[in-house]
Amino acid sequence: MPEFLHLISPSAALEIILTALPQSWAADTEVISTSASHGRVLAERVTAPHPLPPFPRSTVDGYAVQAKDTFGVSGALPAYLRLTGEILMGKSPTLEVHSGEAAQVHTGGAIPAGADAVVMLEDTQLIDSSEIEVHRASGVGQNILLEGEDVQQGDIVLEPGTLLRPQEIGGLMALGMTSVSVAVSPRVGILSSGDEVVPPEMEPGPAQVRDINSHTLAAIIARLGGRPILRGIVPDQHDALFEVVKQSHKEDDLIVITAGSSVSARDITGDVLQSLGDPGVLVHGISIKPGKPTILAIADDIPLIGLPGNPVSALVVGTLILAPLIRRFLGVQRVLPAPQIAAKLSVNVVSQAGREDYLPVRLQESKEGTLAEPVFGRSNLIFTLVRADGLIHIPPDATGLSAGTKVLVTLF
């Protein structure tokens, strides 16, 4: 196994494991209801079966007219047009607008033949049931959505690897696509190890703590599009851990183990991962705080991550490593940046050169603008993160940041 504390940067560690993964490590596909596809990753190319809008539509309540009949008009010099009828919603127009005529239309309604503009209702005055007064000129195409203005029939509207957001779901529904092919969510096995760790529903005994990491990691994995599989708590015994990891290796697409990655006679995670399959441990130690004793491995095409047992370390590094792995499995093609807020650091903070630091901060509004106040605490204190709104990244070439420094806060 590679020597521990041969530290490399987080980006280099990710590059190693992503490069070592085979092309075959990818999701299968399944067809699901479009209405249930939010957050899933599209597995097929989508082309428009018909144009959108499928017919010219009005964007306002008003009157369909020929634009030339309104040129030069104003409140002082109005145009008078003969009202020939009303276009009912959901009905195809049966009348045609000729020069000197107008037809009443509603927002979203079809535009009758002959009309090339819509005058807004508030720019008109109804004289009687057969005539309107127009007070403002309209240009050709004004207040009209043309047929196919959104997409034309045959246009490629979505590519494989697209993360389906509410707007993509709306677009699919507008095209009548009520089912869609998506990538199957990866099964991510989660194991906690430690003789001192007990399930959250149990009352801890002397020198025992409740399992935090399994549940924070499960929430992260679900948010990233994975399917968390809780494999339970395993004692600090090589054989016991090996058997549970081996079972997870048979059934899951990705495995995460918390604790057991520090340098200790009882920390056997690295040995288990090395003995599970080829090529074994690829990285053992990342130049990051928190989370230095992280292990990255691949065993017979299945990636495995050994995370520190401290909750803050597990959550920070887990997010950093799991996000690109799950995206790779799902085939995500376009990665949106994480939500960030610009702020000014409220106090001086120190850092160690050559190491990337992720510091929890809380956002506060002040007369000087938004301030990022560090939430100091050890990496085994989960409420350090509960009290924080996000993280700031201190690059490896810095030895700290001064108060007043502009920072970007990545929100949780």
Q: What does the radius of gyration of the chain's CA atoms come to, in whole angstroms? A: 31
291, 367: one domain: no
CB neighbour list of residue 268: distance below 8 Å, 6 or more residues apart: 236, 237, 238, 241, 260
Same domain (yes/no): 325, 399: no
What is the extent of the structural domain holding 162? 30-52+149-183
Measured distance CA(114)–CA(18) in Å, rounded? 60
Q: Give the CA distances from residue 406 to residues 26, 307, 318, 338, in Å, rounded to whole numbers and listed in that order.
A: 40, 31, 26, 18
Show the tokens assigned to 318. Answer: 């887990």
**For residue 371, what is the domain's CATH number?**
2.40.340.10
- Do 321 and 222 belong to one domain? yes
Question: Could you tell me the CATH number of the domain that includes residue 48?
Answer: 3.90.105.10
- Let me know whether 317 and 194 are in one domain: yes
1 lies in some domain: no
Asked whether residue 264 falls in the same domain as residue 347, the answer is: no
Q: Would you tell me the crossing angle of helices 238-251 and 269-276 to the nearest 10 degrees?
A: 50
For the CA atoms of 298, 304, 306, 310, the dihedral, rounded to the nearest 10 degrees, stands at 160
The predicted pLDDT at position 265 comes to 35
Asked whether residue 224 is assigned to any structural domain, the reply reads yes
Contacts 24+ apart (CB under 8 A), 167-170: 168/42, 169/34, 169/35, 169/37, 169/38
One domain, residues 175 and 255: no
- Write down the pLDDT at residue 266: 46
Is the separation of the CB atoms in 144 and 116 below 8 Å?
A: yes
Measured distance CA(410)–CA(356) in Å, rounded: 15
Q: What pLDDT score was predicted for residue 381?
A: 84
Q: Does the bond joining 279 to the residue before it have cis omega, within 30 degrees of 0? A: yes
Nearest to 270 by CA among 294, 246, 287, 286: 294
What CATH number does the domain containing 21 carry? 3.40.980.10
Asked, for residue 335, whether it belongs to a domain, the answer is no
Name the 3-class secondary structure at 196. Answer: coil
Is residue 163 within 8 Å of residue 332, measured between CB atoms? yes
Nearest to 154 by CA among 46, 45, 49: 49
Strands 340-345, 369-374: parallel, antiparallel or unpaired by DSSP? parallel
Based on the fold, state whether residues 189 and 209 are members of the same structural domain.
Answer: yes
Residues 86 and 201 grouped into a single domain: no
43/165 same-domain check? yes
Q: Are residues 252 and 270 in the same domain?
A: yes
Domain boundary among 286, 310, 330: 330
How confident is the prediction along the chain (412 residues), in pLDDT tens digits per residue? 444 557 899 999 999 999 999 999 999 999 999 999 999 999 999 999 999 999 999 999 999 999 999 999 999 999 999 999 999 999 999 999 999 999 999 999 999 999 999 999 999 999 999 999 999 999 999 999 999 999 999 999 999 999 999 999 999 999 999 999 999 999 999 999 988 899 999 999 998 999 999 999 999 999 999 999 999 999 888 999 999 999 999 999 999 999 855 555 347 888 999 999 999 999 999 999 998 999 999 999 999 999 988 899 999 998 999 999 999 999 999 988 889 999 999 999 999 989 999 999 999 999 989 999 999 988 778 999 999 999 999 999 999 999 999 999 999 8
Pick the last residue of a domain from 299, 330, 361. 330
Query: Residue 136 and residue 116: Cα distance in Å, rounded?
Result: 15
Provide the 3-class DSSP secondary structure of residue 10.
helix
List of residues 6+ apart from 122 with CB closer than 8 A: none
Vertex 346, ends 340 and 352: CA angle to 5°? 80
Tokens 């009202």, located at residue: 83
User: What pLDDT was estimated at residue 104?
Assistant: 98
- Residue 2, domain member (yes or no): no
Cα–Cα dist 109/106, whole Å: 5
Element (H, E) at 319: helix 311-330
Strand partners, 365: 370
Return the pLDDT at 11.
94
Is there a single domain that holds both residue 201 and residue 301? yes
**pLDDT for position 60:** 98
CATH number at residue 61: 2.170.190.11
- Respond yes or no on whether the N-terminal peptide bond of residue 53 is cis (omega within 30° of 0): yes
Residue 21 lies in a domain: yes
Q: How large is the angle between the packed helices 213-224 and 311-330, nearest 10 degrees?
A: 30
Is 4 part of any domain?
A: no
Note whether 363 and 388 are within 8 A (CB): no
Helix (H, G, I), strand (E, B) or coil at 384: helix
Pairing of strands 62-65, 101-105: antiparallel
pLDDT of residue 264: 59
Structure tokens at 12: 């280099």
Q: Do both 131 and 61 map to the same domain?
A: yes
Domain membership of residue 310 (yes or no) is yes
Question: Residue 68: helix, strand or coil by DSSP?
Answer: helix
Does some domain include residue 3? no
Tell which of 304, 330, 356 closes a domain. Answer: 330
Domain count, the chain: 4
